[in-house]
């Protein structure tokens, strides 16, 4: 079975550009997460979908970050406009939730490394 697939693996953007990162979750998983990872802040949750419904929109990340899940097998994260402080690794993860309040075992993609000049 294919794991979580993320594209592109690397992206270089000029300040002010719009970038779109893509994620394909593990087939059959119903939870999808977008995280940002930096050395200073560690892993920060940007968005969380359950069965394609947006459950968590990332609070402080709302203004320039928008995640969408167009179908159960594809999600995008748009950053518009980009700023140098957005330079980080963006990770997508999916899991099969077992219903109720919990999520299941998380599987991460290999990440998209974004550099904003």
**Residue ranges that bind other proteins, judged by CB under 8 A:** 31, 33, 42-43, 45, 48, 50, 55-56, 89, 91, 93, 101-108, 110-111, 113
- Give the shortest CB-32-to-other proteins separation in angstroms: 10
- Maximal C-alpha separation, the chain: 43
Range 30-62 burial, b when 16+ CB lie within 10 A, else e = bbbbbbbeeeeeeeeebbbbeeeeeeeebeebe
CB of 23 to other proteins, least distance (A): 14
Residue (68 or 110) nearer to other proteins, CB: 110
Cβ proximity to other proteins, 16 vs 28, nearer residue: 28
Q: Which two tokens stand for residue 28?
A: 């059959």
Least distance in Å: CB of 98 to other proteins?
A: 10
Which of 31, 86 has the CB closer to other proteins? Answer: 31
Query: How many CA within 13 A on the CB side of residue 94?
Result: 23
């Amino acid at each position: 079975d294919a794991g979580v697939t993320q594209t592109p693996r690397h992206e270089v953007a000029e300040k002010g550009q719009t970038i779109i990162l893509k994620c394909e979750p593990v087939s059959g998983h119903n939870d999808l997460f977008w995280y940002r990872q930096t050395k200073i802040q560690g892993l920060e949750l940007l968005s969380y979908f359950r069965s394609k419904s947006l459950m968590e929109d990332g609070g402080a990340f709302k203004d320039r970050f928008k995640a969408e899940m167009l179908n159960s097998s594809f999600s995008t994260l748009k950053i518009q406009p980009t700023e140098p402080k957005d330079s980080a690794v963006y990770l997508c993860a999916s899991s099969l939730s077992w219903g109720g309040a919990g999520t299941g075992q998380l599987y991460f993609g290999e990440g998209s490394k974004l550099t904003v000049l």
